Structure formats: structure tokens, C-alpha cells
Structure 1
Amino acid sequence: MQTTRRDTLKLIGATALVPAAAVARPAPAKARPTALHWIEGETPKLQLGQTLGVAWPRGALPRRATFAAESGGKPLPAQSWVTATWPDGSVKWTAHALEAGTAAPDVIVRPGKPIAPATPVRIEQRADAILIRIGSLAWEIPRSGDALIRSAMRDGRRLMGALTLVGSVRPSLDGAAVPFTGHVDQAVVEQSGSVRAVVKLTGMHVIEGRRRWLPFTVRLYAYAGANHLRVLHSFVFDGDPQKDFLASLGLRAAVPMRGEPHDRHVRFATGGPLFAEAVRPLTGLRRDPGARFREAQIAGRAVPDLASMNKAVREGLDTIPTWGDFALEQPTADGFRIEKRTTEGFAWIASRAGKRAPGLAYVGSPTGGVALAQRWFWQRHPSALAIRDAAQDEASVTAWLWSPAAPPMDLRTYRGVMGMEGYDAQNRGLDITYEDYEPGWDSATGIGRTNELTLWALDATPTSDTLQAMAEANALPPQLMADPAALHAAAVFGDWGLPDRSTPNRTIVENQLDNLVDFYAHEVEARSWYGFWDHGDVMHTYDGDRHVWRYDIGGFAWDNSELSPDLWLWQQALRTGKAQAWRLAEAMTRHTSEVDTYHLGRFNGLGTRHGVQHWSDSSKQPRVSNAAYRRIYYYLTADDRVGDILRDLLTSDQALATVDIGRKIPGAKAYAGPAGTFEMGFGPSWTAYVAAWLTEWERTGDTRWRDRIMRGMAGIARLKYGWMTNTAPYDPRTGNFVGGDEKIRLQHLTSVFGAVEINAELIQLIDMPAYRAAWLDYCRWFNAPKAEYIARFGEPFGARNLREGYSRLTAYAARASGDTRLADRAAVEFFSGDQGLGTWTTDPRHEVAGVVEWPSVSTNAAAQWGLAAIQMLALVPDAIDRATIPPHNSSAQEPRTS
């Protein structure tokens, strides 16, 4: 059934009801078992609990369906839940949790009845605490207070004391550090199942019992069969960058210590041989205590009865210094050091040095201990692991997300006003450095960061091999993914296809897709794009003169999602199932959704355009906070933090009522639309919000969000030139476009921030012929030859940009209409290289001045070429075959900001 004109007109009203007929209803498909694979290509030795997403074809499964998992034909305990539904209510996405332990090969998820785990997770809710029980291990989580976890107990024996949030702040770079601790305001059970349980804690850090700041969210994940919790730690910087210099931030666990000092063990994972020492060493002494004693201590076992020890050593044990404090500092991505001291007030002794530590520390004894590990440890330097008071009755182990030994965070702006108080001067600066500067709009207040950790409560000191496996599983968590063929068959995320090298031209395109991902993975390492705030982002444009990326030149520095590298990498991960694209996209999602996005304050819900600092550009827009860049990761992993961020964006369109994106456009007139409205661009702004509303509709089935989308669609469809109008007055109360004119305003940035991909999904899900026609007109005419365009619309023709990237719009129109001539035009546009990266028939990478370069590379061009390539292969593969690929011709140029 299709929407009638009357239905469309009703949708334009602020209170329009959406008829059920507006939802497209294709024939039901059949649900088949979905094969999973470990993205690194090999079955890992250890996995710490697994959660992954699986997509299902529309109409294949009812909402009440149950799911089972198996490996090699043998059932695996699994816990499943629905994360999204199709418009007809059938299952679209499911999440599946598998218990911790030895990783299974050849895993399959299918409709069926799950089996229970042998050691299930159990949740016990009390008035003042939540207990997570896994076998005989119990984690006690207070409802509120200064501890995230009160204790970890095994059969009445305390293995761990309190887990707390700690840190310090300086009033100036050289001021004295003032300590603070985290205070939990609320703890709630988000999920309670036999395989996986989740407890969410929210609160604020408190400085000396007075000032509350740095809001945090911590989630604790428990998996069946595990002696650990996964910890997902998020915080938002709500301080003043001019006087709040964050000097340290970390998580600290108290560890009861038992036994003699020589039976107390300290371990650090180093990326090489384990650092394995005792509080009181028995090796290397002038007098040999005996091989059995030395071997036991090195292995982490209790030493034999002292009566059999060499008498001289036994009677001289009290003369051996005890080492109570140990520290592993990772100040850069390329070097760490380990030091130890006897106790506070005495000198530190250098113990070991190396390059990249995986980020795990352990302290304990043969009767119990605690290990704490931090993911992306060296990538997010300056980080540290610290053990204190190991010779006392209670030790501590701290994972420092920002080490107190490092200089404090400096989140101040990097530049002065330089006479740019007014818009005219700011626009002149933009024209030179490509940075959109404005005093006071370059603030870091409101940005955030999420970190992942693992916390173990252990019965005894693990073997070296076990600790190494734990460190590896935390540093690079093994990840299962549904096979790309199954995801493609489910018809999710728009137009993409599986890799296809069946013809010479397709092979050329596929090779460049692989080469381009490999190039960026190499650049992250070669250029050391690491650091607490930087990790996950890439640079915008290369400087061929200096043979570096333009890290210090305004808008050419950090990319901040400009022209959708997030989408490109995720689409490539979807179609290949390979780790390289996945890991780049995962780190980018963590970065751009947190650091490049504001989570409170006047810019809440908006992101920052590319710049020298991630927050330095004054252009605050939804094109960066864009839900389209997060939702693929959410559905593939069911990540709760990204789920929060997607939900936070639901009402962020309200921010544009006070943040005028177009305020600096020369000659712009004051907005004169209806009261309570403002001008909204169809893309990138509206489609960025649509991505959030679409995701919420899918996640909850709440048709209010569908209706909001459809009101906007109907408003665009009502305009004479539809999408080609580019912008119209927008009512944030209803999501409706109210008014608009009969002018064409083709703008090159409109559809390069997810609009193409989101529209492909909207048209698939919602049957509104008038909107589909408006989108197809836009797709057909944006790249149209000048003569054809003028014959249809008359003058002016107007400027065009990004012709190569926009070839996929032409391809979309060709596929929808079955127009072979249009498909061939798309191929010519794509292979032309106009305003893009260009296509090489061989790998263009070469070495210059000791570094590997890709000619004329920019992330704008790379991302748009990648997305165009993927969608061209999916939409018009035969036209790719018919095309003649010209000698490489890249006329890459930077589009001006609108």
C-alpha cells in the first residue's frame, strides 16, 4: 500500500497522525542460522565474555523469538535480546552474550531454545546494595557512596576491598594538586541474565568534600564462568579549561594482603616477558635459599616450609628489604618504565623499561589477589599502573587513565583572538587557514571520554601464561561478528555488497578499498596518532611539502568525522568482516562520539568541525555528533555507552534554536521564519537527527519517532524542488518543515555526512512516493552535465564539488530507474577523480623522504571515494565493468565550509 496525497498533506501539520499504510511491507523472508567469525581470523586463547549483534531479514522472526548458540554442533550457553525491530514488528537486530573462558570456533546463532551456563550469573538486590554472584564469587555494589564496589568475596574470604574513583586537579599548571574522589549517586541493574548482567552507576567526583564536578557513568559487566568484571568508565569534563587542570584520573582497588612478604607477588604485563617479582625477593641473594624456594616464588606459589630453607637465609629474612610500591608509567606510545621503592619517603629504583605495555597489573599472594587492566593503555598515554603498600595489610592497585606523574591536562585554547572579534575577520581567517575561529566557541567544556577496563578477583597468583593471556584478551578484546553474507542478506544499512573481484575493473576498485584502509592503519602508527584525547581520530589533509599531515594548520588538522570516514570504515568492515577496518572504526567511534561531541552545556548534542584541537573550531554542528556514525557499532556490539549517546541525541535538534550554523555566511539576512522555528538544512543537519530518531524507533518500536521522521519527509516532498531546495524553516516541536520557497540551492556538503546512507534506509522502510521522487530528482541532477541541467531548470547552473563522491547518487537514481545511460554516467563520474581521490589501477603508495605517502591524499577524499566505491559496486557493477578507467586524475580540493 502507498501513501495518498491526502495522507501526505496530513503529515505536514504539526499534529499529523501517520497512517499505517505509510510503512513499506515487503514479503517476509526466512530466518536461517547465522555463522559468526572472530574478526582477527583465528580463534583466540581466551575471551572475557562476548556480546555481539546479529541482523535478521524483515518478517523472518517474531518479536518473541528465542535464540540458541552452538559451536561445532555442540550447544553453547547464550543470552539473547532484541535490539531493533522492523516496521512490521519482526526482529531486525538481536544481541547475544556468550560466557567467558576458552573461545569457541565456528560459532552459529540460530532461532531456538538456549541452554543455561554451568556457572550462571545471579543478581541479588538489597536495600543498600546489589550483589553479583558468579558461582561462589560475590561482588557487592553499594547503591550510593564513595565506592563503586564495596568488596569481592569468595566463600566468605575477602579477595578485594573497595573499588573507588580517584584523581586530582590543579588550579594552574604549576599549582598544587588537590585530590578528589568519585561519589556514586545511583546504582541500578540494567540487565539481569544467567550469562550476562549489567549494573550502571552514575555520580560525580567530589573535591575535598565540597565541589561536585566531572559527572561519570560506570557500567559493570558480569559474565557467566568469569572471575572478573568488565568496567566501562565514562566521564564528561565540565570544568573551566582556564583553571581546572586535571592532574590525574583513575580507578583504585584495595587488596587485602596475607602471608609473609616473600609470598606476596607483583606482576606487570610488558608486551614481552612478564615482570614477576615478590615483595621480598628470594632470588639473587648472596646465600641461596634453595631451588625449591626460588622456583616457588617465581611461579607465584607459596614457598615450602621455612624449616627446610637454608638456615643463613631463614635467619636473615628480616634483613632483606621489602618492596611495597611499584609503578609502570607509559608517558608516550613508544616507551614505558617500571620502578619500585621500599616505601614512601625513599628513592625509586629503576626496574625495567620497554616500549608498549598491554596495561595489566596484579598484586596478591597464593591466597588471593587482584588484577586490573586498562584497554588502549599505551595508545591513550600518559597512563600508568600503580601498586602501593604491598608490604602492609592492605595494598592498592590503581589504573591511572591520566597518570599523576604526567603534566596536567591542558584543555585551554591553543591560540589568541588575533583581531578576529567580528565575523568579517573570522571569515578572512577561514579563507587562509580553513579554521572557523570565534572567541569563546573553542571550549573543551562538555567533551567526554570512555575507557574500558577489566577487574579480576583471583583465588591465587595466576601463572605467567595465564596473566599474559588475560592481558592480551583485555588489550585487544576478541570480537565475534556475524558473517558479512548474513548481514547483507538481512538488508541492513543501505546499499553495500560483498567484495567482488569477478572482473578486472571491480578488482581494481576492491584493491584500492583494501589499500586505502591499510594506508590509514599504517598512518595511525607511522604518525603516532595516539594520546588520551587524540586516539581514534585521524588527520584531515596531508602536507606534501613538509611530508607530514597538516596538524597545525587550522581546519586541515584533526578530521573530526569530516565527510564521513566513520561510515566508510564501518561499511568496509561490514562487507569484509576484517579486523583492520573494524578496529579503526571502533576506535574512531569511541573518539568521535565522546571527544568531538558535547555532552552538556550550550553546545550539548552538537559536535565540533575539524581543527587543530578537537574542540577548537567554532562551527558546532550535528554533522559531527551524527547518529549515523554510531549506530552500526551499536548494532554490531550492543554497546551500552554508544546506546546512551544515541539516545542523548534525540532532542539535540533543539540546540540549533540558539546555535546558528549559518551565522557567518556573508550577506546572510536575519531569520524571518515563523516564531519558534529556525532554518534547518536537509543534510547534513536533518538527516543526522533522523539517524537518531530512526534508531530509537527501531530500538523501542515507539512510533512517535517514526512520525517525526515522516513529518520531515512530507515537508521536504511538498517543496517544488524537494531535496534540491536544501533548506527550509523547521519546527523543533514537531519535526516538521513549515514553509520554504521555490529556489534550488544545490550545496556540495548536503549529502556527504550520512544523508545518502540514511535516505537509502528511509526509502526502504517508509513508503512515501513523493519523498522518494524528491530524493531521486536530487540524485539525478546534482552531478548532471551542465547542458542537461540548464535544459531542465534553466540558469544559473551554480558551482559543483565532490563530483567523484556524488557519483553514488547518480548510481542510486540509475538503479531505481533501470536507466543504463545514467549508470554509465555514474561510472564516468566515479572514475573521473573530479574533486576526489581518484582511482589507481595499481597501488599508488610510495616512499618519499623516508615516509610512505598516498598522492594528494585527504581524509575528505578518501572517505568519499571509499563510500562511493562501495555503493557503486553494489548499485551499478555492470557500469563499472563497461567503463574505461582513465590514467589517474585526482583533482582533490577542499570544499569550503557552509
Structure 2
Amino acid sequence: MALSRRNLLILSVAATALGFGANSVAEAAPSVPTTDLRWLDDQAPAAWDGSTFGVPWPRGALKPSQAFKIVGKTGEELPVQSWPIAYWPDGSLKWSAHAVASGEGRDGLSIVPGKSKTPAAPLLVTKTADAITVSSGDLVWRLPTAGAELVSEARRAGRVTLKDLRLVAIAQDQPTLEPDGVVRSSRYISKFSTVTVEQTGPVRAVVRFEGVHSGDGRTWLPVTVRLYFHAGSEAVRIVHSFILDGDPAKDFIRGLGVTASVPMSDETHNRHVRFSGEDVGVFGEAVRTLTGLRSRGDPGPAARETQIAGRAVRTETLPPKLQAGLKWIPEWGDFSLSQLTPDGFTLRKRTSAGHAWIDSNAGQRTRGLAYVGGVSGGVAFGLKDFWQRAPTGLEIRNAHTDLAELTAWMWSPEAPAMDVRPYRSANGMDTHPEEIEGLDITYEDYEAGWDDAHGIARTSELTLWVLGATPSHDAFSAMASRVADPPRLTVSPQRLKAAGVFGDWDVVDASTPTRQRIEDRLTYLIDYYMNEVDQRRWYGFWSYGDVMHTYDPDRHMWRYDVGGYAWDNSELSTDLWIWYTYLRTGRADVFKFAEAMTRHTGEVDVYHLGRFKGFGTRHGVQHWSDSSKQPRVSNVAYRRIYYYLTADERVGDLMRELVTSDSALEAVDISRKLPPAPGRERPKGVVASGFGTSWGAFLGAWLTEWERTRDPRWRDRILNGMNTIAAMKRRWFAGEAPYDLKTGKFLGDGDYVSVSHLNAVFGVVEMTSELLDLLDVPAYRKAWLEYCRYYNAPPAELKALLGKVPSGRNLGDAHSRLTAYAAKHENDHALALRAWSEFFGKAGREGGDLMLSQARRVGGTAVLRPIDEDPVLSTNAVAQWSLAAIQNLSLIGDSLEEAAAANR
């Protein structure tokens, strides 16, 4: 399929900057030119265990069935497995996903259409009624098709090196043991009922498990686990996602982990444990140590050095006295590393159950990897975001016996039990009028029974290695680094932009004085928030990945305990601000910040079962505490950028969950606390829906599903909404209307005006920009351009259009991007200047001047520890101002200096 003229021109202009090769794009047509790949951290890793990434392609450039190959700068080929993950409306390939095998230190890689090289040792997946077998080289994994185990055994060179990989949960019926009380605990293990092979190699194989935790006569905690295998790798990546479906008042999770058994056949002085320490550090000891003995039992420097390195110490080479006396040296069978806070971990060990633990060492933050095994082989197990997700743990048991046990705890049983009960009581707030009074004071939309954690979820990522020998300290440290920060291939911001994806944005451009000022502020703001994560310790199992909503300069604290001012929960598109910042900068630290937020906001802030399923929770003291359950939080617009950049299956699941989430409007009446509007009674199947905060949020789910599947149902549902909004008398200025759940159409004449500053700040701007590039709906385009031109218009112009000047307009600087959109698409220079005036002006702004604010140092007795604070900043204002800056620069950047001169 040849390049379209439009996209050929785009790629031709960008060719030199994108490094498409010596030949011009025009000369290469109809072939698509080479696309350079880059490592996210801009440095080729010494080794990697496989990587998966997405690449966008211009409309009309490639067929969906296109094959790809990856080549190095010297012409060598890297095996790659490719598949389509999104399509343009004309059926051409929009996004392709690519998986590479494990490898070492490769830079200068490029991807180009062509047949891929097959791995030297390709993955082989076979399936019987009882088991799935995944083979790569001398490593064979056996995965049962039902039961408790993810992996029943893994053989390395014929030796069973791992057995019985399964999930474990511990729960108790009370949060703590009171002095006169009794706590009853129960232990649960995984029970899988559905096992699906999603990919079969030859480079990457993916197996999905669905099940529950079972025990004590009960099944609960639904779980989905994916195992990822890569050719040439000794590791399997594990993505673990569970839903909290217990009773918060009765079910207190004490431990949540993944555990495996490790056969131990070597002498105990040739059995070893390893734990990652601080930074690159490693703790390494033998089960029976030969160092530190009395001089009469000293094995000599060669044996000591050999044992420390993890290599075999032959018993017959030891001094006779020591050979006879080995039995007197204690065998240390149990080891435990507990990271109970983000600032500290402890290491302990004991000889065996029934004996006391002794302290081994301690530190601050570890990358979260442990190993147990011997010179004949063993298992290493690591948990990503280990200290950031505290309380976590790594545990080794019975290393002195024939079968050791290695567990990675996503919630450490050494920590207090997980407590997700509501943080408050009603305190007399028993009616909707009283709840609204409370909202006016604390900004919390409280309602008894709606502050419920039942149905939230969390995803964790783990890596497990089956090794043929004990790794050296250096090798183990490198493995720990890959657990904490997996190497990732991607493409440059320029290449993303050239493909025409994600709407209105440009790569960083500081070529003029005012552009430089704006770029400097954008950098300042993103850096400030990333620093706040650590400075304010925004960590923890449920909280890592979120930021706070509003600052309290009197306490020099974010308002973590004040109703709706606490956790942000995606309010006003914080996720999109960070993702668009990554798109235009390519910064690795910004990607990781956005990735953590995507993992959090799509799981913890959203309900995945129960009465609120499909909706998210408005910002609050707890991520689930506010009673406002809305689609604006569960918004797919906040997840899809990560999905397309990574082809992450779990996020793909989360987005697909939401394609029918508009049906939740029937069970959850968002406006239930407000007086019913007269004359708007609704029959069954018809609900009230705002254009922006509800329908605008559904757009992301439908658009993404249409792109991923080419199923016209989702396109048609979008068109139904677009056409019926356009047909209303007041069009977008009607703001909301009755909505038919069956068809996706809005009903009624829309002969009223209802304006809210929230309608365009939850992803609808970004989604509409993409939609109008994909679907030709002239009437809707006209309606949207009208809204963009007039939302921030002077009162006289707005009155001439609507007959009155409506209330509800706010966030003038944020909405300047609507004005900019109209200016760009109507070629109105005067309107572009007005947009910049709105952006720099103070009218309708939330917070202070973001072009001028500065952090200051606060120390002494005023604070818990010295901090840098910028009291002007609030997350609503920062997210929307930054998105406006990014989009205005893209849409009307050519008028910026003229506007800046006029506003001086």
C-alpha cells in the first residue's frame, strides 16, 4: 500500500530529523523508510530479558499484515515478533507492536518492513488437555491448564529447578490484635479455572490465567495473571492483577504474594541466598557458611573466596578437621527481607522454624530481588517498584532442606494488615442537603456507604529467573536493576509526531524567546511534581502513582486529610498532562512517572466489579472515599497512550472493560443530590449524560476499541452521539441531554443553555481532535468549532449567540486551547491572538501565575523535614495550564511572539 500524498509530505519533511536513512522518503516510496529505535534511557543496556514496544504508522502507509524486521547499525538482524494493535479508518496499519528476544548491549537498532529473522532458539509452545509447555533452549516450563499452579515445574538442562509456582494470600478478621481480643487468620492459594495461550512465539509467548484465591471453604480475590516468555531468556515476566472483593469491615489482608518451591540438592555449604541491597549492593551468604570460623576450622582463602562467589566448594578439598566438623556449623534455612516503609528495609535470618530470628543487616531502599539455590541451579524472584509499593517483602524458607520456598510479597505479612475501611463516619451527615453543606466546607462529596473499596484492583509486575548456577554478585546486581527498571525500546518524539497520532502536540521547540519561557515553565512544573513524589513520600501499595490535589501553605503540606483536596484521582486530566509531556520530550523519567500513574489510576481509582463497575472515584482522602462515582475518572483517554507505546495487555483489558460503562449511568445517578430538572422525566434505558464529563469520557473507550478491532459498532456509537449533539438547538452549549443507552444517541431538542467549566477538561478536547481527523461529520465539526470559539468569548459575543451570558465559565487559561483550535481550523489570526491573551491572562484562572511561581526552601521547626515548596501550585491548574501550553504551541505557535509583544 503506497504512502498517501499527505503523509508522504509529512514524512519527507521529517525524514532528516527522524534518521530515516540515506535515501529520501520520496525515493523509498512505496516502501516505508527505516524507523530508528531508541532505548528509553538513551543508553543500550548491558543485557535485557526481552522488550515489547509499539510503533505508529502514517495513515495509508502499510497493510495490517505487514511484516517487520529489526536491523543493527552494522546490518545484523535482531529477531522480532510483530502484530497489529490499531488500524486507521481506511483499514491501514496505525500501530504495530513488536517483541524482541533477550539480548546484550545493542544500540543503533532500526525497524523496517520485511521478513523477520527467526531466533536461534525459538520459543516452542505445545498444549495438551492437562498442561501447556513452553520451551526455549534447555529451559522447559510446564503450566497446568487448571488448578493451583501457574507453573508446576521448570526444568533447566533436564534438572527440575523450580516447582509449584502459585499465589498466596493471608487474611484476618480484625485489623489488629487488641489486648483482650482474638484474631483469626486464614490462608488462601490460587485456583485457576481458565488458562489461555495468547501468543505462541517464536520470540514471545504469553499465557493468561484467570482464577481466584481459595481456602478455608471460601473463594475470593479474583485474579488475572499473565506469564511472558522471551526467546533466549532465563526469566519469565509475571503481571499479577487482583480485584479486592471482600468486606472492608471483616476482611483484612495480611499477606499477598507469589511463591515457588526450589529443589535443593547441593551440600548446604554450596547453597546460597542473594538479596539486592541499596543501589547496586548485594547481600550474599551461604546456608552453611565457611567464613569467619576459628583458625582451626578455617578452610583457607581459596575455599572462602569460592564460597563467597557462589561457586562449588568440593568437600574433599577442605581440611580434614573441617570436613569432620561441618556438622557443627549451623545451617541457616530461613531469610527475610522486609521493606515496610519506602525509607527502610531489614534483613533477618534464622536456622529454622521454632527458633529465633537474628538481625543480619538493614538499609533504606532496595530494588527487590532475592535468590535461593545452589551451584547446580536455583531461582531468583523480583518485584518491580519494591520500595515504592511498601510494605513489601522477599522471603526464603527451608533452604537447608530438600525443598526451599521463595516468596515475593506484594503486601508483606510482617506489616500491619491492609485496612481499607472508610476513614470517617457520617457525623450527622444523613441527608443530601447535609452532604451538600459538608461539600461546601471540605470539598468532599460524602455519602454513607459510597466510600467503599469493594471492587478496586491493583496490578503488580514480577520477574522470575530459573538459573543453572548461583549468579555472581555483579550478575545478580544487574538482574536487580532490570527488575526495578526494565530496559525498554521505543521511538523518538519526532517519529511519533510524524505518524500523526494523539492529536495536537509538537516536539519541544524553544526557538523563540517566549517559546523558551513556556518550555522552561513546562520543565519546571513536571520536575517539581516528580520531586514531590519523593519529597512527600507519595508511595505505598495503593497510592504509588498518584499525586495530591491541592496545597495547604499554612501547614506546608498537601491537604492529604481534607476531603476532596487530597488524592488527585486524575482530576482535570493530570494523566494526560504527563503523557503529552513525555510524547514531546521523550524523557525516561517522565515516562516512568506516567507509567506509575497509569498503573494506579486505571486500577485503584476505578471499580472493576460491583455496583460502581466501570466508574471511577472523584478525588479524596482515600482513593475510593468520595461518593461521586463518574466515568471522567475511569476515562480510557488516560490509558491509551501507554497502551499504544507498550502494547501492555493488562491496560488493554482495562480499556476493553469500559466499552459498555455508559450503562452504569442507570445504576449510578451522578446528579442524584441535585433537585430534578422539571420536564425531563426519563423512561427506562434513558439516562442523563453530560457531553464532556460523561459522553466525552466514553469516547476514548469507543474510539480505542474501534481502532483495535475495526468493529463498526463503536464507530457508529460515536457517530450517533456526534450527530445528535450537532442537531440540538444549542449544540455543545446545551451541555447535557437525555441519553439512550441502547443507541448512544442524545434525545430532545437541546433548546436550553447549560455551561460547565468541567465539560472540556477531562479528555474530550484531546479525543475530539483525534475524532475530527478520523470521521467526517461536518455538522458536528461546526458545533465543536462554535463551542471552541465562544466558550471564552467576550460577553457581548456570547449573548448575541445564546441570548444570554451563561454562568459556569471558568478556567479561562485552560480553555484558551479551545479558542486556539478554532483559530487554527478557521484560519483566524485575530482569534489566535485572543487565545494567547486568554492563556497569559488572569481571568478565570485557578491559582496563581504559573509563569512566575517559584519554589522556596522551608526548614526548621515549621516542617517535619526541610522541603522545597511552591505554594502557588495546585494540580488542577498545573495540569490544565500545561495541556493548554502544549496544544496552543502546536496549534497557533506561529502567532506567539506577536501576541507576547502585544501583551507586554
Alignment equivalent of 1:822, drawn from 806, 809, 831: 831
* Residue 880 (structure 1) aligns with: 896
Go from structure 1 to structure 2 and tell me whether the alpha carbon gap of 1:290 and 1:196 turns closer, same or farther (over 3 Å shift): same
Alignment equivalent of 2:150, drawn from 145, 148, 151: 148
Alignment equivalent of 2:607, drawn from 588, 598, 609: 598
Cα distance, 1:879 vs. partner? 2.4
* Residue 19 (structure 1) aligns with: none
Alignment equivalent of 1:264, drawn from 259, 264, 271: 271
Q: Does the alignment pair 1:221 with 2:223?
A: no
Map 1:63-102 → 2, pairs under 5 A: 63-72=64-73, 73-102=75-104
- Residue identity matched to 2:539: Y
Cα distance, 1:464 vs. partner? 1.0
Go from structure 1 to structure 2 and tell me whether the alpha carbon gap of 1:667 and 1:116 turns closer, same or farther (over 3 Å shift): same
Q: Helix, strand or coil: the match of 1:748?
A: coil
- Residue identity matched to 1:194: P
Cα distance, 1:794 vs. partner? 2.6
Alpha-carbon deviations, 1:799-830, whole Å to 9, x = none? 42110100000000000011011000100111
* Residue 561 (structure 1) aligns with: 570
* Residue 20 (structure 2) aligns with: none
Alignment equivalent of 2:299, drawn from 289, 293, 297: 289
Q: Does the alignment pair 1:193 with 2:209?
A: no
Cα distance, 1:124 vs. partner? 0.8
Distance 2:468 2:903 in 1: 66
Q: Is the 8 A contact 1:832 1:838 kept in 2?
A: no
Q: Is the 8 A contact 1:413 1:616 kept in 2?
A: yes
Alpha-carbon deviations, 1:538-577, whole Å to 9, x = none? 0001111111100000000000000001001111111111
- Residue identity matched to 1:278: A
Q: Is the 8 A contact 1:837 1:865 kept in 2?
A: no
* Residue 342 (structure 1) aligns with: 351
- Residue identity matched to 2:425: G
Alpha-carbon deviations, 1:262-310, whole Å to 9, x = none? 0000000112431000000000101311111111110000103x33322
Q: Is the 8 A contact 2:837 2:903 kept in 1?
A: no
Alignment equivalent of 1:255, drawn from 248, 254, 262: 262
Q: Does the alignment pair 1:694 with 2:703?
A: yes
Alignment equivalent of 2:322, drawn from 310, 313, 333: 313
* Residue 430 (structure 1) aligns with: 439
- Residue identity matched to 2:873: V
Alignment equivalent of 2:386, drawn from 352, 359, 377: 377
Alpha-carbon deviations, 1:402-445, whole Å to 9, x = none? 01111100010000101111110000110000000000000000
Alignment equivalent of 2:884, drawn from 852, 857, 868: 868
Q: Is the 8 A contact 1:509 1:839 kept in 2?
A: no
Q: Does the alignment pair 1:852 with 2:868?
A: yes
Instruction: Give 5+ residue unaligned stretches, structure 2.
Output: 9-28, 178-182, 860-865
- Residue identity matched to 1:861: A
Q: Is the 8 A contact 1:512 1:839 kept in 2?
A: no
* Residue 22 (structure 2) aligns with: none
Go from structure 1 to structure 2 and tell me whether the alpha carbon gap of 1:744 and 1:885 turns closer, same or farther (over 3 Å shift): farther
Distance 2:529 2:805 in 1: 40
Distance 2:822 2:131 in 1: 58
Cα distance, 1:723 vs. partner? 1.1
Q: Is the 8 A contact 1:656 1:678 kept in 2?
A: yes
Distance 1:581 1:728 in 2: 38
Cα distance, 1:671 vs. partner? 4.9
Q: Helix, strand or coil: the match of 1:883?
A: helix
- Residue identity matched to 1:880: L
* Residue 310 (structure 2) aligns with: 300
* Residue 771 (structure 2) aligns with: 762
Q: Does the alignment pair 1:105 with 2:107?
A: yes
Alpha-carbon deviations, 1:144-177, whole Å to 9, x = none? 0011110001232101011011111111123122
* Residue 709 (structure 1) aligns with: 718
Map 1:331-730 → 2, pairs under 5 A: 331-666=340-675, 668=677, 671-730=680-739
Distance 2:466 2:294 in 1: 36
Q: TM-score, normalised by structure 1?
A: 0.94
Q: CA RMSD in A?
A: 1.5
Q: Is the 8 A contact 1:143 1:187 kept in 2?
A: yes
- Residue identity matched to 1:257: M
Q: Is the 8 A contact 1:279 1:323 kept in 2?
A: yes
Q: Is the 8 A contact 2:213 2:219 kept in 1?
A: yes
- Residue identity matched to 1:301: R
Alignment equivalent of 2:754, drawn from 745, 748, 753: 745
Alpha-carbon deviations, 1:182-213, whole Å to 9, x = none? 101111101112110100000000122x1110
Distance 2:256 2:677 in 1: 45
Go from structure 1 to structure 2 and tell me whether the alpha carbon gap of 1:507 and 1:498 turns closer, same or farther (over 3 Å shift): same
Go from structure 1 to structure 2 and tell me whether the alpha carbon gap of 1:487 and 1:351 turns closer, same or farther (over 3 Å shift): same
* Residue 46 (structure 1) aligns with: 47
Q: Helix, strand or coil: the match of 1:615?
A: coil
- Residue identity matched to 2:322: V
Go from structure 1 to structure 2 and tell me whether the alpha carbon gap of 1:785 and 1:205 turns closer, same or farther (over 3 Å shift): same
Cα distance, 1:841 vs. partner? 5.3
Q: TM-score, normalised by structure 2?
A: 0.94
* Residue 61 (structure 1) aligns with: 62
Q: Helix, strand or coil: the match of 1:737?
A: coil
Q: Does the alignment pair 1:204 with 2:215?
A: no
Distance 1:524 1:614 in 2: 16
Instruction: Give 5+ residue unaligned stretches, structure 1.
Output: 1-24, 889-898
Go from structure 1 to structure 2 and tell me whether the alpha carbon gap of 1:666 and 1:550 turns closer, same or farther (over 3 Å shift): farther
* Residue 894 (structure 1) aligns with: none
- Residue identity matched to 1:662: S
Alignment equivalent of 2:136, drawn from 134, 137, 145: 134
Q: Helix, strand or coil: the match of 1:678?
A: strand
Cα distance, 1:881 vs. partner? 1.4
Cα distance, 1:71 vs. partner? 2.0
**Deviates most, 478-487 or 343-352:** 478-487
Cα distance, 1:26 vs. partner? 8.2
Go from structure 1 to structure 2 and tell me whether the alpha carbon gap of 1:799 and 1:203 turns closer, same or farther (over 3 Å shift): closer
- Residue identity matched to 2:876: N
Distance 2:815 2:316 in 1: 81
**Deviates most, 41-50 or 660-669:** 660-669
**Deviates most, 318-327 or 658-667:** 658-667
Q: Is the 8 A contact 2:853 2:872 kept in 1?
A: no
Q: Helix, strand or coil: the match of 1:307?
A: helix
Q: Is the 8 A contact 2:706 2:714 kept in 1?
A: yes
Q: Helix, strand or coil: the match of 1:424?
A: helix
* Residue 863 (structure 2) aligns with: none
Distance 2:91 2:576 in 1: 27
Q: Is the 8 A contact 2:754 2:806 kept in 1?
A: no
Distance 2:85 2:717 in 1: 21
* Residue 12 (structure 1) aligns with: none
- Residue identity matched to 1:68: K
